[in-house]
Amino acid sequence: MLVLPLAARAADDRVIFNRDVRPIMGEYCFACHGPDPAARKEGIRFDREEGFFGQREDGGPTVVKGNPGKSPLYQRIIATDPDDIMPPPKEHKKLKPAEIATLKKWIEQGAEWQAHWAFIAPVQPPVPAGAAAHPVDAFVRERLAAAGLKPSPDADRRTLARRVALDLTGLPPSPEEVEAFVNDAAPGAYEKLVDKLLASPRYGEHRARYWLDAARYADTHGLHFDNYREMWPYREWVIKAFNRNQRFDQFTIEQIAGDLLPKPTHEQLIATGFHRCNITTNEGGTIAEENLANYAKDRVETTSWVWLGLTSNCAACHDHKFDPITQKDFYSMSAFFRNTTQDHADRNARDTAPVLAVPMGEDAKRFEAIPDEIATINAKVEERKKAVVAEGAAWLATVTVEEIERAAKADTMLAQFALNEGKGAETKGVVAGQEQTAKLPEQIAWKADGKTGPAVQVGEGTSIDLGELGDFEKEQAFTAMAWFFRTEEESKAPGSIVARMDKAEDLRGWDLFTEKNEIAVHLVSKWPGNALRVVTTDGAAKPGQWQHVAVTYNGSGKAGGVQIHVNGVPRKLKVETDKLSASIRTKVPFMVGRRGGGGEVFTGAVQDVRLYSSVLSAKHLLALAELPDLRTILKKPAAERTPEEKQRLLALHSTDDPQLKELEGKIAALGQEKAAIQKRSPVTHIQMEKPNSQPMARLLVRGQYDQPQDELKAGVITALHKMPESAPVNRLGLAQWLMAKENPLTARVTVNRFWMETFGTGLVKSAADFGIMSDAPSHPALLDWLAVDFRDNGWDMKRLMRLLVTSETYKQSAAVSKELLARDPDNRLLARGPRFRMDAEMVRDSALAVSGLLSPKIGGPSVKPYQPTGVWEAVAMPESNTKSYKPETGEALYRRSLYTFWKRSAPPASLEAFNAPSRENCAIGRERTNTPLQALVTLNDTQFVEAARFLAQAAMQAASTDPKATLDFMARRVLSRALRPTEVPILEASQTALLAHYTQTPADTTALLAVGETKPDPALAPPQLAAWTMVASQLMNLDETLNK
């Protein structure tokens, strides 16, 4: 923690509470005298003003203004008696003499108290007059002047071109871009360059990369199997959002609650993936409630870090020790995130619901167009239906039973058995137009009130063998039907109404089957591996009534070719098995009431069994089912028929209306097209609110899922501003609260993050913590000015970036003198320009860019570039589908690093070496270590060696045989500048020695040039190319190259 004095001081020795006193209290006192009541001793809390000046139960205030001698706070600190001294010796925290002196002076000066600055909404301060034209510079220079420092001169134009290109696009500029800028003497040349870079689609990629750390984006679930999770459309959304410069408030609202916006667009739903990026598990034995508690916890923490700059995670187990976040606040906030439809386990699936299919390219256009097309046709359907009704009114007056009978008649009938004799040992039927009889079982019973006359009552021992009927092959279309009736009791046991199926031969054949309230159809070659089975889903079979059931099958061999109609109406079906590929013919006879060779017995009454050799039309089926009732209805005079009876007649009339059929066919085709697009499209994980459910959560004692307390309604941190009156109590309301004007944190936290990305360190160094224990801002007035400016100017992110990089502060040279370095090693005062090691992705992308290998492609699924073997294998479970890493070939090897497949339990190895996070948790800002493992990556990784060779090759191709020109070419690509005279001999000497080695050792030459997938240009002399490759590698490993 580097604490710098705040801006202008009132007087040199004036002690300022927020700057001087609060940090001491935080360090030594808050743990026992802070906001956490559980840890609080003696009821004293120094996080509030009352703690200092309020009357205590057993005495006066802890601080008497102006009088340290009467202030217990001071007396306890300087006490010598171990029983009195504060902090107690067992805490091993001893105030330093200077700190004690500060507290004393503060009291002497009147003990002026201040609320923590970050919890007070920012007010835009005036820009200091006269110091500079640019507001950033005005604040920075005022501060520098107070410190007796002067700003550095501008960086030279080449350095500046490189810096600003890297900051705005993550990529170095091409030598041509650099020269164009260097040679542009017009005023505003720099601003022109900035605007060009801001307009580049690379801008969005680069900004997205930072955001994805905060969003903990990755391509696997994270825990246990750590399987693939399809999430990249969200990444694409982030890139696009930055490129189209979406307002930050919208950007926020859509990510937190896009699904709750009115009529959310696809894009708004994709945005909600932000909170689907958390790690999830499917470990066997885990407890649902525990997982859900962990997911919600992660979401509260992430939201707090990213927007509020608060370490709310502390409040998961107890009230926050320092900041005014209660444990109740934490769980109230978690309620917002516990009201979604996401399950506790990720099923190890790529698509853990809720997900959204995201059609790409042409598919996306069609996918968007189809609903409108369907709506248009639907309108026509409605129109036509009205016309049919109108026509039907006339028809109703004249319709006759004969007409209905004609409608029910189909000339593809194979067989019909009425089963309504009511007595006797035989039953009569028609088979292939000829009358035929079949024997009835001896015990056969009759149910008097059949659908038409008495009906056979089949059951155990009374199934009926109808002989050689229904011997269908799987290529053959057919229709089978019957009337059936079961009592409640009879409906309990499953059984075949009709079947030609051999139980003894793996159920080969087909049947129409009831099981409780559903009807199933089986077509089987060998159960279960070679069969299809579909079943109704909505309780189609009802006991206690006669129902007409018909199955049609189109001979396709697919479950989709089967339809079940009940009472003439097609039912919704579930496909349970769809794996039929061989013959279904069997020798057993056609049975009513059970399968051949035994099997489940159907108990109930059956009538009018029919078989057809075609798929009957809907009209046929309806007419057949309706015929018995319509006979009765039609006997009545037209005027006496009830509206319901008229409706039934009309339904028959409108069925199979050719125009309606055509329109419905079109709708079905569009529906299929849509489904096909959906099926082949990538998915992305989204948030969906539970319907009819209020957000609620329980406080978990010490954060433990199995110790829930009373229900809490969703709510925000109570010590901050209130939720807007108009805001709904759900995630949308939370998002509105985050972006509310009264919010003291979001704008500050956000501009600070942009500042950090550009200048290396935030104005508040602890970018994820603006709480009481945060680092004091180096330029508080500048921070507030920027925050208000950002908020009041449409949350315009490009405008903010432009503001930062067009300041003189940004443009300064980064060179630092020993004196300045000693004075301000971390450049918090900004007397020089930013210079720091680039992040992992920039290091790799720059190498690809300067070599000419970088693919320009934007977006798409994650790719797998080079990686040493075994990185995944070493950690992955054998069952994981991200167990073995196989590098791809071609373009995938050269994509920008933000597209690299991110497996959370083994992040990309070369990126991890440069402090890329694991993406298991939200990460605000990265570490910047400087380690030997990093040197090994840029020296030895195939990616970098190949890039060096490619750069060398390009240089040789461009410069023919002039070594100086070759060197110059490479330097301009890598460093954006020509080499200095003192640098040239060093590289020439290297090159000479390397050339000697590779000339003498052809095997090494061949080996080196074979690194990577691309082939070297055969026109170039191999030893030369090898030597220049290593020189290119030298340039690419310079500290200057690795720094922006």
Range 202-231, binding another protein (CB under 8 A): 223-226
What whole-number distance in Å separates Cα of residue 309 and Cα of residue 318?
A: 19
| Per-residue contact flags (x/-) with another protein for residues 29 to 68, judged by CB under 8 A | -xx-------------------------------------
Q: Is 868 in the site for another protein (CB under 8 A)?
A: yes
List the one residue out of 400, 388, 409, 410 whose CA is nearest residue 653: 388
Residues near another protein (CB under 8 A), total: 126
Closer residue to another protein (CB): 538 or 873: 873
CB atoms within 10 A of CB 218: 26
Q: Of 383, 376, 385, give the one whose Cα is nearest residue 670.
A: 376
Rounded Cα distance, 391 and 355, in Å? 46
Q: Which is nearer to another protein, 4 or 480 (CB)?
A: 4
Q: Which is nearer to another protein, 483 or 885 (CB)?
A: 885
Is residue 306 a contact partner of residue 675, using CB atoms and an 8 Å limit?
A: no
**284 binds another protein per the rule CB under 8 A:** yes
3-state helix, strand, coil in the chain (%, to 5): 45, 15, 45
Contacts of another protein in 768-797 (CB under 8 A): 769, 771-774
Q: Residue 906, interface with another protein (CB under 8 A)?
A: yes
Residue 280 Cβ vs another protein, minimum distance, rounded to whole Å: 11
Residue of the chain from 18, 78, 88, 102 that contacts another protein (CB under 8 A): 102
Q: What type of residue sits at position 509?
A: G
- Bond from prior residue into 354 cis (ω within 30 degrees of 0): yes
- Which of 792, 875, 890, 958 is close enough to bind another protein by CB under 8 A? 875
Q: Does the footprint of another protein cover residue 1010 (CB under 8 A)?
A: yes
- Tell the smallest beta-carbon distance from residue 958 to another protein (Å): 22
User: What is 980-1024 written as a DSSP string?
Assistant: PTTTHHHHHHHHHHHHHHHHH-HHHHHHHHTSSSSPPPTTS-HHH
Residues 807-826 that bind another protein (CB under 8 A): 814-818, 821-826
Site string for another protein, 820-859 (x = CB under 8 A): -xxxxxx--x-----xxx----------------------
Contact between 911 and another protein by CB under 8 A: the answer reads no
Among 174, 286, 437, 613, binds another protein (CB under 8 A): 286
If one asks whether residue 352 binds another protein (CB under 8 A), the answer comes out as no
- Closest to another protein by CB, 47 vs 502, is 47
Distance CA 975, CA 446 (A): 98
Cα radius of gyration rounded to whole Å, the chain: 39
Q: Note whether 586 binds another protein by CB under 8 A.
A: no
Of 613, 237, 216, give the one whose Cα is nearest residue 411. 613
Binding mask 114-133 for another protein (x = CB under 8 A): --------------------
Q: Is the CB of 730 or the CB of 761 nearer to another protein?
A: 761
The CA dihedral of 912, 916, 918, 921, to the nearest 10 degrees, is: 160
State the nearest-atom distance from the C-beta of 283 to another protein, in Å: 5
Instruction: Find the binding residues for another protein in span 141-200 (CB under 8 A).
Output: 147
* Subset of residues 640 to 679 that bind another protein, contact rule: CB under 8 A: none
Residues 688-727 that bind another protein (CB under 8 A): 706
| Nearer of residues 184 and 912 to another protein, judged by Cβ | 912
Residue 989 within binding range of another protein, rule CB under 8 A:
yes
Q: Which residues are within 8 A (CB) of 203 and not within 5 positions of it... i.e. 6 or more apart?
A: 168, 169, 197, 242, 243, 798
Alpha-carbon distance 479 to 555, whole Å? 11
List binders of another protein among 926-965 (CB under 8 A). Answer: 927, 929-937, 939-942, 945
Task: Name the DSSP letter for residue 152.
Answer: P
Return the half-sphere exposure (C-beta side, CA atoms, 13 A cut-off) of residue 880.
27
1023: closest CA among 1000, 1044, 989?
A: 1000
Q: Work out the angle at residue 382's Cα, subtended by the Cα atoms of residues 376 and 386, and round it to the nearest 5 degrees.
A: 145
Euclidean distance between CA atoms 1009 and 87, whole angstroms: 66
Min dist CB 932 to another protein, Å, is 4
Length of the chain: 1044
DSSP state letters, 187-214: TTHHHHHHHHHHHSHHHHHHHHHHHHHH
Of 634 and 947, the one with the shorter C-beta distance to another protein is 947
Q: With respect to another protein, which residue has the nearer C-beta, 740 or 1031?
A: 1031
Closest approach of another protein to the CB of residue 185, in Å:
26
Does position 1033 bind another protein by CB under 8 A?
Answer: yes
Query: By CB under 8 A, is residue 8 in contact with another protein?
Result: no
Considering the complex, state which of residue 561 and residue 833 has its C-beta at the smaller distance from another protein: 833
Q: Which of residues 499-558 bind another protein (CB under 8 A)?
A: none
Does 982 contact another protein by CB under 8 A? yes
| Closest distance to another protein from the beta carbon of 819 (Å) | 10
> Please, what is the minimum distance in Å from the beta carbon of residue 878 to another protein?
5
Chain-centroid distance of CA 304 in Å reads 19
Q: How far is the CB of 231 from another protein (least distance, A)?
A: 19
